[in-house]
Amino acid sequence: TSYAYVNPPVAVLFGVLLAGEHVGPYDIAGMAVILLGVAIITLFKQRAKG
């Protein structure tokens, strides 16, 4: 499950470093929403197992 947390920021970092992309506030907000969603899903899965 760690790849779900790592992939979005790494993809953005590669885009900035390799492709010269610019990261704006909407991009950062979108990444935060994605990571929060993954965290919530992971939390509920762990509670359902335990």
pLDDT in tens, 1-41: 677 778 878 888 999 999 999 999 999 999 889 889 888 98
The reported pLDDT for the residue numbered 1 is 60
Tell whether 2 is covered by a domain. Answer: no
The reported pLDDT for the residue numbered 42 is 86
| Residue 9 near residue 31, CB atoms below 8 Å | yes
Tell whether 3 is covered by a domain. Answer: no
Alpha-carbon gap, residue 40 to 21, rounded angstroms: 29
The reported pLDDT for the residue numbered 23 is 93
Alpha-carbon gap, residue 45 to 27, rounded angstroms: 27
- The secondary element (H helix, E strand) that includes residue 16 is helix 2-19
* Residue whose tokens read 């992971």: 42
The reported pLDDT for the residue numbered 8 is 79
Tell whether 21 is covered by a domain. Answer: yes
Q: Which domain holds residue 43?
A: 8-48
Alpha-carbon gap, residue 3 to 9, rounded angstroms: 10
The reported pLDDT for the residue numbered 5 is 76
Tell whether 37 is covered by a domain. Answer: yes
Question: How many domains is the chain partitioned into structurally?
Answer: 1
